[in-house]
Amino acid sequence: MSQSRTAGSPPMRSTGHGVPGGPLSVNPQLAHHHAGPSSAGGTPSGTASPRPHAPSAYHPRASIVLLGMRGAGKTTLGLIAATALRRRFIDTDSVFETQVHCTIGEYVARHGWAAFRHQEANVLRHTLGRHALDTVIATGGGIVETHEVRELLRATRDECPIILVLREREAVQHYVLGETHSSHPSYGENFLTVLKRREPLFRSCASHTFVSLTAPTSPGEPHPLKLKLIEIELLRLLRFVLSDPVSATPQLIRSPATSRHGSPAPTPGRHSLAHLLAPAPSSRADGLTSPGAPVPFSVPPGASDVTSRTHLLTRRTTFLSLTLPDLRNVSPAKFDEMLQGIDALELRVDLWDALRPASRAMRAGLPSDAPPPEVDFLEVALQVAHARRLARGLPLLFTLRSDREGGSFFDDRDLTHRDARSAHSQALYFALAELGLSMGVELLDVELGWVESGIRSLIARRGRTRIVASYHDMRGDLRWDSELAFQLYDRAARRFGGVDIVEMVGFAKPERPEQNWHLLSFQARVLTRAAQDPARSLPPLMAININEAGRSTRPFNGVLSPVSHPAQLIKAAPGQMSLRDIGRAQISLGLVSPKHYLIGDGPGAHSNAAGNRMRAALDAIGMPPDVRSLSAQELDEMTVREDALRAPLSDAHIGGIHLAGHTWAAQVALANALGSANLSTSLASHAVGAVDVVYRGEVASDLVGTSRGALTPHGFCALDGPLSGDHTLASALERVFTRFLSPINVPGASGTALVVAMPLSPSADVHERRGRDVALKAAVCAMARLGYGRCVVVDDGEADGSGSEDSWWGPHVAALVQAEATKLLRAATANVGGANGLASLALAHGHVASGPEATRCAVVRLPRSALADISGALMARAGQPESSHSSANPSGTNTPGMPAAAAHDGPASASATLGSDSPALPRAAAPRHLQVRQPHAVALVGGSDEEQQQALVTLRPEAPSAGTYDAAVLPPQLWATNAGGTLVRVPTSGDAPLYEAAPGARGAPASASTVHTLEKDALLERSGWLHISPHIVELERLEQGVFEVWTRRRAPRASMRTPAAPTPLA
């Protein structure tokens, strides 16, 4: 990643005024958040590198400081973070040069390095003291060279996250040595010498670590998504760092729009929470209700979250024990095969080549006074970063297994003679564990055999990381029917405090088969206590016996069961089974009650595509592929006869129903049938008026912590809830736009989204009308969820064929989404109190969702003739509000927008006015004068695939930028932007393939060499616009909207997209 300071204009740079030399002032808004230990504790004796430090919670708007070598990517990352969080960006080197009126190189040449370092420290002190909130600060590469600055940073990391940015040494050296017009002076010494000196200094000052993997270069112009993976990984870390540690759903709080123009006010403003940053659909809050609704809105469950105590107690979760020694050159496609259906990825750090100097094979024969092993911490961090990218969002379990407990990391203590002194191993173990914490791993394995003070220190610094306290008996001494087993669990659960999961592993012997059954009894008793605990403090237990004689215990373990995969050359432990084998064993033993599923694919040559993919996915995780495809006659009967749905909805053995493809009329009928049966539906299905997936709801989670929690978790899994319904299109569109919007086009309250409906033929049947109506509402719902302040709907047709909803459905959809976002916001801010905490930043201190402080998406409907005027900004004036749908008057309370240059919204130009015959909109949804900026997110809905392709001829790179086109063609002015955009298509008629790109179609996937890049699914069109074809949206619906909701497991991408037999990685 280039760190050039001229690459793109920042959202907001501050040059500062004066360089005061006084001490750093602690901002009172941040003081009450510093629940972590002081940084003055120093480092333990013999630690290979100074330990990073992180308090348990930061203020959600605390400024972010970036450290690292020149060329590591601090400026690029700072611009990405500042744009996404709507914060001010400050580069301390730029501030310095502005103040001294010369470059750093010129200043050093005149005054020397000592004078420069002194003034550099003053700039940093002033910047940190003045900008404690709403700022991203990038520092100079050598700022840690002075003791004064290091002490300042160590004091600051209690208030603001100090993130060390790392990059491959070769890439940094290539960048620095390749600079030809740099304002920085030369180092005056060997680059590697400078790097080796600074690396431990950086680590001693940082609270967190981020690795900026170098993006592959390609000829031609840079792709808009070149830095997208970096953005995703950086925002994941920031969400992990800046969220409340006890919150179930980490969220990023965006700064007030006004914070980019000056220093933040002492008290958070009324618009502090403009909206949540891209909230995941699976993390919505419960309890949403609609006025007059007979039942509450249901929340689709989604895949299991291994950081959730409730999920661990009520669902079967697994992790893959990864034994590969190097992750740099692993094939992403083959890696996807290994990840199918698992819930987390265990990194066996002790098996990595980077840890070979500290392995038993290298250290066992050395004398006790031998020098410490030289472990490259940068290489370890790079391996974690590669695993993060390969894992596709899966939680990471960081495990450094010692040889004493079955691993390769050498423990130099002589415990057989009760000598607990450690020359090097213990300090190195905790230093590496601290590195894992600093990188934001979701789970950290901590062996209970290490020194107690070190374990307590890790727990105190964990932040949002969940601690897995582990004990492995490798000799077969542990008797599961003894009091010792309970004592081991209680020691981990109660003595340390803060342990989230207890892992106890025994060694099975053939001559003691009864210990397998004693283990099951012990595990059931412990889990019963944990599930019944009203304080919800007892951690779940993962307990198995390893060795071939202990294989029978693995199918019974439901808490983070370790699995292997045939593609791995070695297993992490003897007796380990694959996920598929465990799933089949659970079915054979009656531990899981199999369900059957119904799928309706709709008309077309690919009518069995969804059913075939679902069968392959279920088989990949060891579940019976009992999926029946509904015939066209059955789908037609659902549309005209409501009683046709009574039988499947009353079947106790049915696991779910999915109406895929263009079964729009049947989806509307299914929604009506669920309502008649008094079964709940999601907010999305209520907003669009249709249901395309029916699933079993959650029951077990409501029993945790109650007297009924005495049931074992295996019993919980057998408790099936009532059927509920959802519509997957809105959530799928939201995820697709989030994934394919370039880092420069971040949704915001000042941004505009565009939804264009294809013209509706007068001869269109009920299926086409229903499909167009559902897709149109789903697109508006997605744009509102993304956080756009304005959504322009271009539609000359009727909303549902009758015109009855024409005047209110758009604001109605936006209002429902606003209620959803407000509920989620309150859930995310409920756990932190205090006058200056998250609670004080809530929407107007608890006002209703429709209150004036709530950010809302204004929906404006325009005729197709106005589409050509949206090449610039326009003024859209809505009619008088309808009294029956109006809410609080938002006059003067609209969220202030970002400046056009910052939001990349293009120049303000043409304007238009809605006539008096325009549909009336509620005042809460659209102010009388609404500024509409150039859209960077466009959804094209309705029509067939061929009709949509014809409408987009102006988007082709070879199309002329001006000329006369048919009325059905989108005007070329729409694509005339400086920052490009993203177009997503949703055809609603025709027989086009829905789950794969048609041969020769535009937007088809690229070659396998780019299989793990986002570019393969996006076709680059003119002016930087990305074209996302319909099959991407449909796969997203089937994978996350259907499979994960039905099974609570991650969708097996390899089997659902390109089914293939497992192949070795070597």
Tell me the mean pLDDT in the region 846-850: 30
In the predicted model, is pLDDT for residue 64 greater than 90?
yes
More confident residue, 979 or 845: 979
- DSSP helix/strand/coil, 138: strand
Count the neighbouring beta carbons within 10 Å of the beta carbon of residue 112: 11
CATH number belonging to domain 55-215+237-260 = 3.40.50.300
Count the neighbouring beta carbons within 10 Å of the beta carbon of residue 761: 13
Strands 1025-1028 and 1019-1020: antiparallel
What is the rounded CA–CA span in Å between residue 367 and residue 615?
A: 58
Q: Are 429 and 444 in contact (CB under 8 A)?
A: no
> Which structure tokens are listed for 1059?
């089914």
Tens of pLDDT along 120-145? 999 999 999 999 999 999 999 999 99
- Single-letter residue type at 539: P
- DSSP helix/strand/coil, 582: helix
Tens of pLDDT along 559-614? 999 999 988 888 888 889 999 999 999 999 988 888 899 999 876 545 688 888 99
What is the rounded CA–CA span in Å between residue 575 and residue 1057?
A: 31
In the predicted model, is pLDDT for residue 479 greater than 50?
yes
Nearest CA to 68 among 171, 159, 219, 151? 171
More confident residue, 43 or 610: 610
Tens of pLDDT along 709-740? 766 565 566 667 899 999 999 999 999 999 99
In the predicted model, is pLDDT for residue 1 greater than 60?
no
Q: What is the pLDDT of residue 27?
A: 41
Tell me the mean pLDDT in the region 684-713: 84
Cα torsion 557, 559, 565, 569: sign = negative
Query: Residue 94: how many CA atoms within 13 Å on its side-chain side?
Result: 16
Q: Which residues lie closer than 8 Å to 429 by C-beta, 6 or more apart?
A: 400, 402, 409, 450, 454
In the predicted model, is pLDDT for residue 421 greater than 90?
no
Mean confidence (pLDDT) of the chain: 78
In the predicted model, is pLDDT for residue 152 greater than 90?
yes
DSSP track, 248-305: SS--PBPPPGGGGSSPPPSS--TTS---BSS--GGGPPS----TT-SSPPB----S--
What is the rounded CA–CA span in Å between residue 1060 and residue 416?
A: 50
Q: Are 269 and 61 in contact (CB under 8 A)?
A: no
Name the least confident of 282-296, 458-472, 809-823, 1002-1016: 282-296
Q: What is the pLDDT of residue 718?
A: 60
Delimit the CATH 3.40.50.300 region(s) of the chain.
55-215+237-260
Distances (CA, A) of 33 to 58, 81, 95, 368, 537: 6, 22, 29, 44, 23
Q: Give residue 859's pLDDT band: very low, low, confident or very high (50, 70, 90).
A: confident
What is the rounded CA–CA span in Å between residue 873 and residue 929?
A: 12
Q: Where does 568-725 have alpha helices with state H?
A: 579-588, 609-620, 632-640, 646-649, 664-676, 683-688, 713-717
Fold of 309-364+372-588: TIM Barrel (3.20.20)
Tell me the mean pLDDT in the region 318-338: 92
Tens of pLDDT along 994-1023? 666 654 445 444 333 333 456 678 889 988
In the predicted model, is pLDDT for residue 618 greater than 70?
yes
Q: What is the pLDDT of residue 90?
A: 96
What is the rounded CA–CA span in Å between residue 474 and residue 415?
A: 14
**For helices 92-100 and 113-130, angle between their N-to-C axes, nearest 10 degrees:** 110
Tell me the mean pLDDT in the region 84-99: 93
Tens of pLDDT along 865-924? 777 666 544 433 333 333 333 333 323 323 222 223 333 333 222 233 322 232 333 333
Q: What is the pLDDT of residue 428?
A: 96
Distances (CA, A) of 259 to 123, 125, 269, 277, 1040: 20, 20, 10, 17, 36
Distances (CA, A) of 395 to 319, 387, 392, 440, 672: 9, 10, 9, 10, 38
Q: Give the range with max mean pLDDT: 280-284, 635-639, 652-656, 903-907.
A: 652-656
- DSSP helix/strand/coil, 708: helix
Q: Give the range with max mean pLDDT: 292-296, 351-355, 644-648.
A: 351-355
Strands 318-322 and 344-348: parallel
The residue count of the chain comes to: 1066
Q: Give the chain's radius of gyration (CA, Å).
A: 29
Run of H or E residues at 876: strand 874-877
> Which structure tokens are listed for 84?
């996404």
Three-state SS string over 347-374 comes to EEHHHCHHHHHHEHHHHCCCCCCCCCCC
Tell me the mean pLDDT in the region 951-956: 89
